[in-house]
Amino acid sequence: MSLTNFAIIESTLREGEQFANAFFTTAQKVEIAKALDAFGVEFLELTSPLASPQSLEDCRTIAALPRRTRILTHTRCHMDDARVAVDTGVDGIDVVIGTSSYLRQFSHGKDIPYIIEQAINVVEFIKSQGVQVRFSTEDSFRSDLVDLLTIYRAVDQIGVNRVGIADTVGVANPRQVYDLVSTLRKLVSCDIEFHGHNDSGCAIANAYCALEAGVTHVDTTVLGIGERNGITPLGGLIARLYATDRSLVRKYNLPLLREVENLVAGIVGIDVPFNNYITGFTAFTHKAGIHAKAILNNPSTYEILDPADFGLTRYVHIAHRLTGWNAVKSRADQLGLELTDDDLKEATAHIKALADEKPMALEDVDAVLRAWHHRIPVPHAQTALAEITHRNGVAA
Ligand code: HCA
Ligand code: CU
């Protein structure tokens, strides 16, 4: 496994610009580039300078920023594009050409010998300009395997820096990715990149399997934004790698993840999903009494990620019918209310009964705990329920 030696190619400023809601201004691109640089991704990939006049300017501007991350741009595998791209000052150019029968028939209409000749010309030209070059095939998983391997071998032999496999339509599953990468790993000596779309929900697993099989570079975008429903999300890949071995992702500034995601979410006008990896608002919320008890004793019982490593905190949710007395006790301790175990168990039973009647808030739990602490008789659920209903402005 080459898991210890991988780099992230962060493509929010290329694939991410293909997201339906993305219309980045130059200032926004610069802000995103700086945030990702601070997070520590190894590469940023930018929209082709041929896309529009502003895209060309933006390539130049971002390439000229003081930064640690290396800057790549992305173009068709075509001499006209390569000439413009080498002139922007980027460190590398990612070229791509369609090899599936669909793309060959319905897109560029070229056959395999032509594609190989074109690839060789473009790769040799970019290298001769002292710029790094990656060659990738679009829709790799619906391309003929012999064609693919023939093309990759040809560019490897002329010294391409990296070849890329792209699951352009999100059709591949982890085992297929593992198989293709393993085959390619034996065939070429250059680096290998994986780019995977998420149409069937496999983008993170596919990227992970690609790494297990020997890729050196993985494409991500912040929150996975991209064409259609996007690609491997940066945070999801980080979570997956951390879960395997947290030392794999120590090279990144993990507490910045939430900030980077909030920045991009704000710019493209979306919310961070509630169930997002690491930063979703429920990602470290524990609810069931049995979970809460174990979490309070040792968080690892139900957490594979330590929220503190990401500058986040966990939350034990106690105001509901699934609560347990250990969790309720921890709240009483927080409030400095001394209660015997028997009192706590009684108070917990009362909370559960109330929760059966009405949604509860933490302050309702606190009211019950205070009542028990002061030995205020609360004869039955009805009394406290009346208080809640009153506060919520609903007639009891
Ligand atoms: C696209 C192109 C691409 C390119 C991937 C790559 C894809 O269809 O917009 O260059 O590695 O998914 O094939 O994003
Ligand atoms: Cu893509």
222 Cβ below 6 A of ligand 1: no
Contacts of 229 (CB under 8 A, 6+ apart): 170, 197, 198, 199
Kindly report, residue by residue over 132-162, the tens digit of the pLDDT: 999 999 999 999 999 999 999 999 999 999 9
* CA atoms of 321 and 365, how far apart (whole Å): 11
Kindly report, residue by residue over 25-51, the tens digit of the pLDDT: 999 999 999 999 999 999 999 999 999
* CA atoms of 321 and 312, how far apart (whole Å): 26
Q: Decide: 50 and 84 in contact? Cβ < 8 Å.
A: yes
- Residue 169 CA: nearest ligand 1 atom is 12
Q: Distance, CA 169 to ligand 2 centroid (Å)?
A: 8
Whether 369 shows a pLDDT value over 60: the answer reads yes
15 Cβ below 6 A of ligand 1: yes
291 catalytic residue (yes or no): yes
Q: Decide: 127 and 157 in contact? Cβ < 8 Å.
A: no
3-state DSSP percent of the chain in helix, strand and coil, to 5: 50, 15, 35
* CA atoms of 120 and 122, how far apart (whole Å): 6
Would you mind telling me the total number of residues written for the chain in this entry? 396
Whether 381 shows a pLDDT value over 80: the answer reads no
**Which ligand approaches the C-alpha of residue 98 most closely?**
1
- Residue 15 CA: nearest ligand 1 atom is 14
Mean pLDDT taken over the chain:
94
Looking at ligand 1, which residue's alpha carbon is closest to its atom 7?
Answer: 168
Q: Specify the pLDDT at position 100.
A: 85
17 Cβ below 6 A of ligand 1: no
Provide the b/e sequence for 335-345 (b: ≥16 CB within 10 Å). eebebeeebbe
162-167 and 132-138 strand pairing:
parallel
Report which DSSP code applies to 2.
-
In order of their start, the domains of the chain are 7-268 (3.20.20.70), 285-391 (no CATH)
Count of beta carbons in the 10 Å neighbourhood of residue 320: 17
Q: Decide: 167 and 196 in contact? Cβ < 8 Å.
A: yes
Q: Distance, CA 168 to ligand 1 centroid (Å)?
A: 6
Q: Distance, CA 166 to ligand 2 centroid (Å)?
A: 7
Q: Distance, CA 236 to ligand 1 centroid (Å)?
A: 20
Q: Specify the pLDDT at position 392.
A: 57
Looking at ligand 1, which residue's alpha carbon is closest to its atom 8?
Answer: 168
147 Cβ below 6 A of ligand 1: no
Please, which pLDDT band fits residue 121 given cuts at 50, 70 and 90? very high
Please, which pLDDT band fits residue 383 given cuts at 50, 70 and 90? low
11 Cβ below 6 A of ligand 1: no
